Amino acid sequence: MIERQFISLGKLLYYLIMNILLVPLACLLLLGKATFRIRFVRLIDNRIGHLAANTELFLRSLDLQGKKKMKRFFVGIASDQPSNHQLLNMYKREFCIIQLPRELYGNRVFMTVSSDYSLLNWLKVYYDLPFESNESKVFSFGNPQLSFTPEEIRKGKELLASMGVTSWYVCIHARDPVYLSDRDSTNRMSFRDCSIDSYLKSAEHITKKGGFVIRMGAKTEKPLKTSNPRIIDYANLYRSDFGDVFLTGHCRFFLGSSGGLILLATALGVPAIGCNYIPLGWPPLSKNELYLPKKLLDSRTRRFLTFKQIANTDVLYFYDTGSYERAGLVLVENSPEEILEVTKEMMNRLGGKEILTSQDKKNHRQFQEILAACPHHLHPLSRIGSHFLRTNNELLGDTISD
């Protein structure tokens, strides 16, 4: 307790001194804001999910408020080593973005200048682009802000031809254990990982329906185990910044996981399925998306936590592996059969053949009521797979008995 208070006091002292030193710069930026209406925003560009979602949220919000022309008064600050150069270049076409050396942009002191505790943030002259993961209405009813140039379309068609893709396709992605292995030695984000093997049954189904399947990912632990020529391991054979954005932006739908690439699909307005989604409090953002949550097994009782047990506790927003381990919770991935069923549901939806039984509607309504009644009053517009709720109906109860 004493140590925690010491850290808090140290942090308070740091920001007090920093904000005093920032007063001259704040006055200068306020003058620029008053005279030219210019203000600065910091893009979160070290992960493709944040680069896509935070920046898209900013632009869509302006558009929905009827203030799209206001974007010319904003200057974005990014690094010279973004997670995806193609995506950043596309956002550069939307508003002015200045790239700084990674050593400066990623410097801890420089990062705090735009944080919530900074004088510049309070005055809204320089601040981080926000993203709270609860902006369902913006992503459901706002229009995508990015578009591809004719030259990018031509280049993308050449990429598809080089991979042998001759018809519609679906992108698949499972967040891989090696993705952050060089930056996260503690494996604190490993709770979001899952196996690509469990997606193969769905991939086979898609190819039988006439489509191709393209496996996405910046880093992978292992190649795909398939001899199907219509299932392409792009991540290991063709991967590029351009390909990540173009292929995601033009697929029929995106079959993903709790990784940043599904947020790229959301930003580009592509229907998506989020499998092995976690935590429950941060579901996919768009009404065009379906998802399957990871189930949580209590290692002491050997019973799964119900949605209500999760929603009414801190587990709703657990965001590091250690939190689940300390709570004695074992994460259970979605089965290949569950992923196949939600894939069929999305294909039926896109084909105008979606059928929800009265029981399905009741299950969805019950789940929404659980989230709405929790302390955070969540109202997601994305929807859990109907088959998943049908076969895991006990998760909708108060507790699971023997």
Question: Phi/psi of residue 272, each to 5°?
Answer: -145, 155
Range 180-209 average pLDDT: 86
Range 370-379 average pLDDT: 91
| Vertex 103: Cα angle to 99 and 105 (nearest 5) | 45
pLDDT at 399 (0 to 100): 78
Our measurement of the distance from residue 36's CA atom to the centroid of its chain's CA atoms, rounded to an integer in Å, reads 34
Which among 183, 15, 220, 27 has a CA at the least distance from the CA of 106?
A: 183
Structure tokens of 38?
């210019």
Q: State the amino acid at position 353 in one-letter form.
A: K
Domains of the chain: 15-131 (no CATH), 150-353 (3.40.50.2000)
Structure tokens of 118?
């900074």
Question: Strand 96-100 relative to strand 289-293: parallel, antiparallel, unpaired?
Answer: unpaired
Question: Strand 295-298 relative to strand 303-304: parallel, antiparallel, unpaired?
Answer: antiparallel
Q: Where are the alpha helices (DSSP H) in 351-385?
A: 358-373
For residue range 25-65, list pLDDT tens digits in order. Answer: 999 999 999 999 999 999 999 999 999 999 999 999 999 99
What proportion of the chain, given as a percentage, has pLDDT over 70? 95
For residue range 299-338, list pLDDT tens digits in order. Answer: 999 999 999 999 999 999 999 999 999 999 999 999 999 9
Structure tokens of 224?
């795909």
Contact 274, 292 (CB under 8 A): yes
**Least confident segment among 171-180, 188-197, 222-231:** 171-180
- Give the H/E segment covering residue 213: strand 212-215
